[in-house]
Amino acid sequence: MKATYMFGAGDVRVIEVPAPTLQEPTDAVVRIVRACVCGSDLHPYHGMDASTEGASMGHEFIGVIEETGSEVRSLTKGDLVISPFSFSDGTCEFCQEGLFTSCIHGDFWDTPGMGGAQAEAIRVPYADGTLVKVPGVSEDSPLLGSLLTLSDVYGTGWHAAARAGVTHGDTVAVIGDGAVGLLAVLSAKQMGAEQIILMGRHQSRTDLGRDFGATDVVAERGDEGIAKVRELTGGRGATKVLEAVGHLPAYEQAYGIVRPGGVISRVGVPQYEEAPIGFGSLFGANVSLTGGPAPVRAYIEDLMPAVLDGTVNPGRVFDRTVSLDDVPDAYRAMDNREALKIMVTP
Amino acid sequence: MKATYMFGAGDVRVIEVPAPTLQEPTDAVVRIVRACVCGSDLHPYHGMDASTEGASMGHEFIGVIEETGSEVRSLTKGDLVISPFSFSDGTCEFCQEGLFTSCIHGDFWDTPGMGGAQAEAIRVPYADGTLVKVPGVSEDSPLLGSLLTLSDVYGTGWHAAARAGVTHGDTVAVIGDGAVGLLAVLSAKQMGAEQIILMGRHQSRTDLGRDFGATDVVAERGDEGIAKVRELTGGRGATKVLEAVGHLPAYEQAYGIVRPGGVISRVGVPQYEEAPIGFGSLFGANVSLTGGPAPVRAYIEDLMPAVLDGTVNPGRVFDRTVSLDDVPDAYRAMDNREALKIMVTP
């Protein structure tokens, strides 16, 4: 079958690999119906060391169950399913608490040895714990785009707002106008935020952000951007800051605009390890820092009804669709900011 | 009057200065009845640049109102009062929310231009907003030691546990066996923590920690200490880690022993600005970081009843009492770990 591999920075290829098969009785093999390219895929696209084996790519998908192992109980051939961007057994103490990304048997799809989702099919470990069945939706439904966002970007934006504890009356600043940032805006709106300031520079994206609920847009960055947000918040800063980028300047922006006693919630994968957290950044003003990889498995069932009944349409973040053969070009287009988020139809 | 000034690292002197007077109609002048030396006073004791003017010292006190400005409403001459380690107007939006340390008119006692509490008297700005009256207690009550802890160390230990959200069933690790660490143990116990692991190396202190509620003591530090805490928590780590030291190794210890999805709450004043917060330390496991200078003004009234009726005895952290003239020696003794916390009777 065809699958997407990355062999180094900027080097993405669609190659022929053996089709996946069941390896464990808890596995399922899923035929991919929709996948996509993630903003976080661009991090290795910029920095991956060259490798001859390459790395399988893609961690977001909707698919149809092709085959299940003997211990899979809740799924059968033909079911349409959504997968979170990490797999999890569904039974360990962390899964029971909803922290599926810390599952003691689970891991991210991007882990070496796992297949990627930018492919024709994929083996899913712990199928019962990982996959969520979508009832009554066909393979060509116009809802597939919105359902696909439950695999990562919507759940990740939701996680940013949920970990921050966004609630009625909050002043929320969202840093980043990528798909996750825009869906963090949507999530903050759903949780009752009063003012939502979106920090981003791409007008087509920030316009969509306004549709999702942003009340203000700040295009400036650095000190200018900080001054602008402070001006918009009566000099005090935002009670909740959702950081959906992952680069150090975005984090520096975050503690520059957060209100004393407020929360910074990060969901952009940090491309740094050390950063300021002392008296002058977080401590002095009792600012809390939270966030991490979103346990989207915990959110799919809760968020799905409003997607299915059309209350929300997070799939609007997809502004291009490509076939599997065109995935390398999709990376290029997302990296150049020609496209916001690209859907893949194998 | 006599007052304590620091003129550089290791250079503490009791000198003669003009007695404080009312400067604003919202001021009070307070005669100091009890003050003390704080673990955080040791930070400048180690690192302060030499200065000819010196810095007034002391930010914890109980005293008696001597004189009040014309706009002071709630206090009169002769009232016994507790002061938090920062002053605050009591009316701004942050004070209204309980975040007194971010008061828009307030500041720390250690701010240049303010008097210190290791002295015979002190001018208190915003007396109505800052001071808390203690009803029915005399100047020679045996409760003064415990009441004095409400000025900083008990409220700060409480803040660590409160910001972490310690609740019934929690596994709490407390880093540091100073007065704040020990009172963080007491606070965690009051909030219903099930297991309380105290990390400290001074047996007389950790014994007091056991009296306050610690179920386990870990004397080891670094990787050995981390391994020990993990062993005591079934390999998972502590759900809440209270960091009451302020040095970088204590923070590194904190993220080494925290459970995925858990919280690190810092109240030790960070002696560093940059520290690890990326995927490998906080982000990957969805660990939250919180804390800051404790708004102890918010806690005094809540914590006082159990002190007054003897339910808790946080004053046990005082293991020595000195006169004002002996304050320089008190710094030395606390720095040498000869004394845990020293009370000053002017």
Chain A residue nearest residue B279, CA to CA? A270
Distance CA B212, CA B242 (A): 15
**Chain A CB within 8 Å of residue B240 CB:** no
Contact of A266 with chain B, judged by CB distance below 8 Å, is answered with yes
Chain A residues close to B278, C-beta within 8 Å: 270, 272-275
CA–CA dist A179, A194 (Å, integer) = 21
Residues of chain A contacting residue B94, judged by C-beta atoms under 8 Å apart: 260-261
Picking from B270, B291, B312, the residue at the C-terminal end of a domain is B291
The token pair at A92 is: 């360990």
Interface test with A, best of B107, B240, B258, B273 (most A CBs within 10 A): B273
- Which residues have a Cβ under 8 Å from the Cβ of B65 and sit 6 or more positions away? B28, B29, B30, B75, B76, B77, B78, B79, B81, B127, B131
CA B246/CA B244 separation, integer angstroms:
6
What are A277's two structure tokens? 């957290």
* C-alpha–C-alpha distance, residues B35 and B13, integer Å: 16
In terms of phi and psi (left: phi > 0; alpha: psi -120 to 50; beta: otherwise), the region of B301 is alpha
Question: In one letter, which amino acid is B329?
Answer: D
Q: Which of B261, B266, B277 sits opposite A283 (nearest CB)?
A: B266
Q: A82: alpha, beta or left, given left = phi > 0 and alpha = psi -120 to 50? A: beta
The reported pLDDT for the residue numbered A251 is 98
Q: How many domains does chain B have?
A: 2
Give residue-wise pLDDT tens across range A114-163.
889 999 999 999 999 999 999 999 999 999 999 999 999 999 999 999 99
Q: Do B286 and A163 touch (CB under 8 A)?
A: yes
Nearest CB to A278; choose among B163, B272, B282: B272
* Minimal C-alpha gap between B246 and chain A (Å): 10
Average pLDDT for B319-345: 96
The last residue of a domain, from among A265, A291, A317:
A291
CATH number, position A6: 3.90.180.10
Mean pLDDT of B3-28: 97
Q: Looking at beta carbons, which residues of chain A come within 8 Å of B99?
A: 260-261, 286
B163 and B264 within one domain: yes
Percent of chain B with pLDDT over 70: 100
Q: How many Å lie between the alpha carbon of B66 and the closest alpha carbon of chain A?
A: 32
CA B229 to chain centre: 25
Q: Are residues A304 and A284 in the same domain?
A: no
Give the closest-approach CA distance of B52 to chain A in angstroms. Answer: 26
Tokens representing residue A30 in the block: 């899923």
Q: Domain of residue A12: give its range.
A: 2-152+295-345
**Domain of residue B187, CATH code:** 3.40.50.720
Claim to verify: residue A147 and residue A170 sit in the same structural domain: no
The pLDDT value recorded for residue A31 is 98
In the numeric block, the tokens 């949780």 are attached to A191
A275/B contact by beta carbon, under 8 A: yes
Are B147 and B18 contained in the same domain? yes
Q: Which of A261, A272, A291 sits opposite B99 (nearest CB)?
A: A261
Residues B178 and B286 placed together within one structural domain of the fold: yes
Distance from C-alpha of A195 to C-alpha of A170, rounded to nearest angstrom: 7
The rounded distance, in Å, linking the Cα atoms of B29 and B122 is 6
State whether residue B266 sits within 8 Å of chain A by CB. Answer: yes
Question: Strands, DSSP E only, in A200-294?
Answer: 216-218, 238-243, 258-266, 274-276, 288-291
How many beta-carbon contacts under 8 Å exist across A and B? Answer: 109
Q: Which class for B153: exposed (0-12), middle (13-18), buried (19 or more C-beta within 10 A)?
A: buried
Residue A247 and residue A186 in one domain: yes
- Cβ neighbour number for residue B158 with a 10 Å cutoff: 29
Confidence bin at B84 (pLDDT 50/70/90): very high
* Minimal Cβ distance to B277: which of A97, A102, A277: A277
As a whole number of angstroms, the distance between CA A126 and CA B151 comes to 54
Question: Which helix (H) or strand (E) is B336 found in, with range?
Answer: none
Tell me: do B306 and B220 sit in the same domain: no
DSSP state of B50: P
The ipTM (two decimal places) reads 0.96
CB contact under 8 A, A270 and B289: no
Chain A from 83 to 112: CB within 8 A of any B CB: 93-94, 97, 99, 101-102
Q: How many CB atoms lie within 10 A of CB B134?
A: 21
The two beta strands, A80-83 and A28-36, are unpaired
Contact B283 A295 (CB under 8 A): no
Mean pLDDT (chain B, rounded)? 97
Q: Does A248 touch chain B (CB under 8 A)?
A: no
The answer to whether A142 and A123 have CB atoms below 8 angstroms apart is no
Q: Which of B268, B291, B314 is the last residue of a domain?
A: B291
Identify residue A173 by its one-letter amino acid code: A
Q: Which tens digit of pLDDT belongs to each residue from B223-269? A: 999 999 999 999 999 999 999 999 999 999 999 999 999 999 999 99
Neighbour-count burial for A218-248, b at 16+ CB within 10 Å, e otherwise: beebeeebbebbbebbeebbbbbbbbbbbbb
Question: Residue B290's closest chain A neighbor by CA?
Answer: A288
- Average pLDDT in the B25-36 region? 98
Element (H, E) at B185: helix B179-190
Asked if residue A255 and residue A300 are part of one domain, the reply reads: no
List the structure tokens of B51: 């200065």
Closest partner CB to B270 (pick from A261, A279, A286):
A279
* pLDDT under 70: residue ranges of chain A: none
> Testing the interface with B: which of A286, A287, A289 to mutate, by most B Cβ within 10 A?
A286
Rounded to whole angstroms, the Cα distance separating A106 from A91 reads 11
Distance from CA of B77 to the nearest CA of A (A): 34
Q: Which residues contact A111 (CB under 8 A, 6 or more apart)?
A: none
CB atoms within 10 A of CB B44: 17
Q: How confident is the model at residue B110 (pLDDT cuts 50, 70, 90)?
A: confident
Q: Is B167 an interface residue toward A (CB < 8 Å)? A: no
Chain B neighbors of A279, CB-CB under 8 A? 269-270, 273
In chain A, whose CA is at the least distance from the CA of B288? A290
Q: Are B72 and B29 within one domain?
A: yes
Q: Do A288 and B102 touch (CB under 8 A)?
A: no
Asked if the C-beta of A199 comes within 8 angstroms of chain B's C-beta atoms, the answer is: no
Per the CB < 8 A criterion, the answer to whether A241 and A263 are in contact is yes
- Per-residue burial over A46-76, b if 16 or more Cβ lie within 10 Å, else e, is eebeeeeebbbbbbbbbbebbbbbeebeebe
Q: Which residue in A62, A126, A59, A61 sits closest to A94, CA to CA?
A: A126
* Same domain membership, residue B327 and residue B212: no
Is A134 near chain B, with CB under 8 Å? no
Contact B114, B56 (CB under 8 A): yes
Cβ atoms within 10 Å of A260's Cβ, excluding its own: 20
A13-28 exposure pattern, b = at least 16 Cβ within 10 A, e = fewer: ebeebeebebeeebbb
Which residue from A minimizes the CA distance to B265?
A288
Residue A304 in contact with residue B287, Cβ under 8 Å? no
Structure tokens at B268: 């030790």
pLDDT given for residue B240 in this prediction = 98
Tell whether A170 and A197 lie within a shared domain: yes
pLDDT digits (tens, 9 = 90+) for B149-188: 999 999 999 999 999 999 999 999 999 999 999 999 999 9
A-chain CB neighbours of B274 within 8 Å are 274-278
Beta bridge partners of B4: B14
Alpha-carbon torsion, ordered A133, A304, A266, B257, to 10 deg: -50
- Give the mean pLDDT of B210-217: 98
Q: Does B8 touch chain A (CB under 8 A)?
A: no
Quote the Cα angle for A152-A157-A163, to 5°: 115
Cβ <8 Å between B276 and A273:
yes
Whether B219 and B254 map to the same domain: the answer is: yes
> Tell me, what's the pLDDT at A109?
87
The candidate with the shortest Cα–Cα distance to A57, out of A16, A100, A114, is A114
C-alpha A172: how far from chain center: 19
Cα–Cα distance between A202 and A204 in angstroms, integer? Answer: 6
Strand boundaries in chain A, DSSP class E: 2-8, 11-16, 28-36, 55-56, 61-68, 80-83, 86-87, 107-108, 121-124, 132-133, 171-175, 195-199, 216-218, 238-243, 258-266, 274-276, 288-291, 320-323, 342-345
Nearest by CB: A284 against B282, B289, B292: B292
> Which SS3 state, helix, strand or coil, does residue B218 take?
strand
Q: Which amino acid is at B130?
A: T
Beta strands in A73-120 (DSSP E): 80-83, 86-87, 107-108
